[in-house]
């Protein structure tokens, strides 16, 4: 007597379950991937602006006298935004546009801010009594090297600096 073999037929209920689960997964992926991307995208990005900073018309900086200028920069790292203020001294040696020095006002010892002392013709650091000459070179005190400098350019009479200081 021949044995009747049961065919592996799927019930309507099982088929509906599988199709529903499949469609749910596909719809979840279609909707979820962009949302996940939107949520985690800022964490994967680190932005640091390297755009040139305008210090205004060159003519407002007198020759021979270090002139202070301050600006702020905002760095974006994921969801974190950090705004930091910076200060520089613009020193024009002559009318020549290539004869300019832009010095950081951060002491190279522990980053205190130096100030220009006109009578002494020096930048003085109040933290550990360091002193720099008008060119930013260490006169005395603990700083390991001269004040940092900024690359600059002049376009149509306006002075711009690159926001990344360079160690002198
Ligand atoms: S921070 Fe300027 S001398 Fe120490």
Give domain status of residue 3, yes or no: no
Give residue 147 CA to ligand 1 midpoint distance, Å: 11
Share above pLDDT 70 across residues of the chain, in percent, rounded to a whole number: 90
Pocket of ligand 1 contains residue 124 by CB under 6 Å? no
> Does the pLDDT of residue 43 top 90, yes or no?
no
Q: Mark whether 75 and 150 lie in a shared domain.
A: yes
Mean pLDDT of 91-95: 95
Residues 19 and 83 in one domain: no
In a domain? residue 5: no
pLDDT of residue 114 exceeding 60:
yes
pLDDT score of 167: 87
Ligand 1 midpoint to CA 119 (Å):
21
The reported pLDDT for the residue numbered 119 is 96
Q: Which of 18-22, 35-39, 42-46 has the lowest mean pLDDT?
A: 42-46
Q: Which domain holds residue 98?
A: 53-161
Q: Tell me what pLDDT residue 48 has.
A: 53
pLDDT above 90 for 129:
yes
Confidence of residue 50 (pLDDT cuts 50, 70, 90): low
Q: Is the CB of 76 under 6 A from ligand 1?
A: no
Residue 1 lies in a domain: no
Structural domains in the chain (count): 2
Q: Are residues 148 and 75 in the same domain?
A: yes
| CA-wise closest residue to 53 among 77, 76, 72 | 72
Please work out whether the CB of residue 113 comes within 6 Å of at least one atom of ligand 1. no
Give the residue-averaged pLDDT of 129-142. 97
Ligand 1 center from residue 114 Cα (angstroms) = 9
Spell out the long-range contacts of 109-118 with Cβ–Cβ below 8 A and sequence spacing 24 or more. Answer: 109/141, 109/142, 109/143, 109/144, 113/87, 114/147, 116/66, 116/68, 116/89, 118/65
In the predicted model, what is the mean pLDDT of residues 84-99? Answer: 94
Q: What is the pLDDT of residue 118?
A: 95
Residues 68 and 126 grouped into a single domain: yes
| Residues in a beta bridge with 131 | 124, 140
**Is residue 47's pLDDT more than 60?**
no
Residue 104 has a pLDDT of 98
pLDDT at residue number 94: 94
Residue range 20-29, pLDDT digits in tens? 999 999 998 8
43 lines ligand 1 (CB under 6 A): no
Nearest CA to ligand 1 atom 3: 128
What integer best gives the mean pLDDT of the chain?
89
Which ligand 1 atom is at minimum distance from the Cα of 112? 1
> In whole angstroms, how far apart are CA 108 and each of 35, 75, 124, 159?
46, 22, 12, 24
> Within a 10 A sphere around the Cβ of 165, how many other Cβ atoms?
18
Place of tokens 């599988």: 18
Residue 143's pLDDT is what?
97
| Pocket test residue of 105, 106, 114, 130 for ligand 1, highest count of atoms within 8 A of CB | 130
């Amino acid at each position: 007597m021949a044995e009747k073999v049961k065919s592996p037929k799927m019930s309507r209920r099982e088929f509906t379950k599988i199709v529903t689960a499949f469609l749910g997964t596909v719809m979840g992926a279609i909707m979820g991937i962009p949302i996940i991307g939107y949520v985690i995208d800022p964490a994967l990005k680190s932005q640091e602006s390297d755009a040139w900073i305008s210090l205004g018309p060159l003519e407002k900086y007198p020759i021979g006298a270090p002139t202070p200028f301050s600006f702020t920069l905002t760095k974006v790292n994921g969801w974190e935004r950090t705004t930091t203020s910076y200060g520089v001294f613009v020193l024009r040696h002559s009318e020549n546009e290539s004869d300019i020095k832009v010095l950081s006002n951060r002491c190279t010892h522990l980053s205190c801010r130096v100030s220009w002392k006109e009578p002494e013709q020096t930048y003085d650091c109040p933290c550990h009594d360091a002193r720099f000459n008008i060119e930013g070179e260490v006169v005395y005190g603990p700083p390991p090297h001269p004040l940092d400098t900024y690359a600059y350019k002049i376009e149509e009479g306006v002075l711009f600096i690159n926001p990344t200081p360079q160690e002198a």
